[in-house]
Amino acid sequence: MRISIITATFNSSRTIQNTFDSLLNQTYKDVELIVKDGGSNDNTLEICRRYQQAFYGRMHILCGPDNGIYDAMNQGVRAATGDIVGILNSDDFYTDENVLETVVNAFEKTDCDAVYGDVHYVQEGDLTRCIRYYSSANFTRDRMLYGWMLAHPSFYCRRDVYRKYGLFDESFKVAADFEHLLRLIYINKIKIQYINKDFVTMRMGGASTSGIKSHIIVMKEQLKAFKKNNINNNVFRLSLRYFKKILEYCDGK
C-alpha cells in the first residue's frame, strides 16, 4: 500500500530539511513524496534536489507558479499515484518515526476511507517544547456545524475519495481544508477512523494560528463553506466553540 505525501513549498529553505528528514526516518518505506514549489527565490529547490537521491526516485518535484497553497495541494494530489494521500507542510515534521506505519496498519485492518489523529505546536526557538496540543479525539461529524474540525495535517485519505468527491476549492483563502472535510465527512459521510497518536509537529505562526483577525476570516469562510454545501448555519452557532474554549480554560485555572 503506497502513501503519497504532498508538500507545498515557497521559500521554505529554513524549515524544509526538518520535513524531509522526518519523512526519511519513517519506518514505513512505500512512500512517494510530491513537492510542489510555487517559484521559490531562495535555495528551497536546491535543497529539494539535494534530497532527491536520498529518496531513491520516490521524490517528484513540480515547479512553477500556482494560485496559492490549495492550488499547490491540488496539483500534488493530481500527480499522486499512491493508494493513500496525506499532506505534510514544509514547516512541519512527523512527531516520531512510526506515524506512517500506524496509518497503513489502520487502513489494512479496517475498511475506512480516511484516518486522522492529533498534532501539536511548537515555537521556532525550541522545537521540543509543546506550546499547544490539538487533539482530534472528540471530533464528530455534527461538531462541524459549530466550526470544529479534526487536525487536518493528520488526515490521510484514500486517493479514490479525492477522485469521487473532488479536490480543494481554490476560491477559499484559508478554509478550503474545512470545506473539503465538510464535503467529505458531513455531506458524503465517508468512513473515518481516529488514531490516538500525535502525528505532526507544527510551528506556530501559520494562517490558522495568527490571532483574532485570522479567526474572523476563518469564520467568514466557514459560513461560505456551509452555504456552498446548502447547510444553514450562522455566526452565533459558530461562536459557541469559543465560549467552550473559555470555559475549559477557566476550569483549568
C-alpha cell at 64: 512553477
pLDDT exceeds cutoff 60 at 2: yes
How many residues in total does the chain contain? 253
pLDDT per residue as tens digits for the range 173-214: 999 999 999 999 999 999 999 999 999 999 987 544 456 777
Q: Please give the class, per CATH, of domain 3-252.
A: alpha beta
Return the C-alpha cell found at 130. Answer: 509543546
Q: How many Å apart are CA 20 and CA 48, to the nearest integer? A: 9
CA dihedral 73, 77, 79, 80 (to 10 degrees): 130
The closest of 237, 244, 206, 210 to 223, measured between CA atoms, is: 237
Q: Which three cell numbers stand for residue 132?
A: 499547544
Crossing angle for the helix pair 44-52 and 16-24, nearest 10 degrees?
20
pLDDT surpassing 70 at residue 251: no
Q: What is the pLDDT of residues 52-63, one digit of tens each?
A: 999 999 999 999
pTM for this one?
Answer: 0.92
The whole-number average pLDDT for the span 83-107 is: 98
pLDDT digit string, tens, across residues 18-42: 999 999 999 999 999 999 999 999 9
